[in-house]
Every structure is written in C-alpha cells, then in structure tokens.
Amino acid sequence: SQTIHQWPATLVQPVGSPLSLECTVEGTSNPNLYWYRQAAGRGLQLLFYSVGIGQISSEVPQNLSASRPQDRQFILSSKKLLLSDSGFYLCAWSGVRINTEAFFGQGTRLTVV
C-alpha cells in the first residue's frame, strides 16, 4: 500500500533562518507531488506541484522554493524565512490519471518567530 511521510511535525524557526521540509512517498512510482499551505482560518493554497524528477511548477510567487531530487521525494525550502511564512504545510501525492484523488501527509506546523 502507498504511504506518505512528512517531517518534521512541528517547527519553530527565527526570522531569516533557512527552511527545509521533506516529504517522501512509498508504494507508488512517478506520482504527482504537491505542497499546500494552510494559513490559520483559511483554506488550502497550492504552492508547488511536480509531475516528475526536477520538474517543479509554482502556483504563486513567494519566498519558498521546491525541489524533487528523486521520484518519490519532495522538498520545500527557503533561504530566509519571513513571519508570513508561518502556517501549516501539507505534502500530497496523486496518481497521474486525470481526476484521481490526492493523499495527504500529516502536515508540518511552522511558526516563524
């Protein structure tokens, strides 16, 4: 069966520090991968998606970047965090068929102080 791992679960970082959140998927190959952010009291905002190794597309301009060094590994990064980067970050994967459901990790709660 497929599983998705996301870590760390919580993170408190000072403004200006770097960020690296990691997500890995097991039990499937060539998944579509996604990073979403959920700000307090708001819905999910799609940040990045990837359809293959090294292929990253961004939905919104921001202080963050994403990389996919391996087929089932997706990394969310920042060189210098801002206060506005605080939120709940969710990694997800889906199959490549059109209109397939997405499976989510447990999320990382990031607080920038």
- Element housing 93 (H / E): strand 87-94
Work out the widest C-alpha separation in the chain, in whole angstroms. Answer: 41
* 29 counts as binding other proteins under rule CB under 8 A: no
Nearer of residues 65 and 109 to other proteins, judged by Cβ: 109
* 79 counts as binding other proteins under rule CB under 8 A: no
* 58 counts as binding other proteins under rule CB under 8 A: no
- Beta strand segments in the chain, E: 3-7, 10-13, 19-26, 32-38, 44-52, 55-58, 65-70, 73-78, 87-94, 102-104, 108-112
* 1 counts as binding other proteins under rule CB under 8 A: no
Binding string, residues 38-57; x marks residues near other proteins by CB under 8 A: ---xxxx-x--x-x-----x
Residues that bind other proteins (CB under 8 A): 6, 32, 34, 36, 41-44, 46, 49, 51, 57, 90, 92, 94, 96-107, 109
